[in-house]
Amino acid sequence: MSALSDLATQIYDSELCFTESAEERAAEIVLITAWLEAHLGELNTLINTNFELTDLSLILQEEKSILREMYLLQYYRRQSRNVLRLVDGSQGELDFHTIREGDSVITRTNKSEIAKNYRSLISHTQQKLDALVHSYNMYASKPGQISGDDAPA
């Protein structure tokens, strides 16, 4: 397994884990791995690195942490858009909150509250990602250029 495949498995098992079937789990992990591979350049841009798919043995926990938050941010945004499609009526669902008949009560979840919760998750994840990137760039990344008396000859 590659470093990104291991990270995708960790993301799925610790953060998402919404399927019971081994086949569905494996399919989701493949999708997460593909997303991580596709966004490795974005990680490089954020933290001034040069990771390549051919050699990911140099990727450390700090970089994996940032990549994990990048994926979660994208995941929450996608889920938020899905919920908003239900809220605005573009999916054609019945619109009711509570139905009462005699002793029976049927209550649906409030899609607007779910959308607000996703917005809160997005905000929290963005703040965490920004803090991780800032800390990494402050303490771990190499400068892009050096000039002056301290530049190597």
Domain range annotation of the chain: 3-139
pLDDT tens, residue by residue, 37-95: 999 999 999 998 888 887 777 788 889 999 999 999 999 999 888 888 776 665 555 55
Does the global pTM surpass 0.85? Answer: no
Task: Classify each residue of 5-19 as buried b or exposed e, where b means 16 or more C-beta atoms within 10 Å of its C-beta.
Answer: bebbbebbeeeeeee
Percent of the chain predicted with pLDDT > 70: 79
What is the pLDDT at residue 109? 66
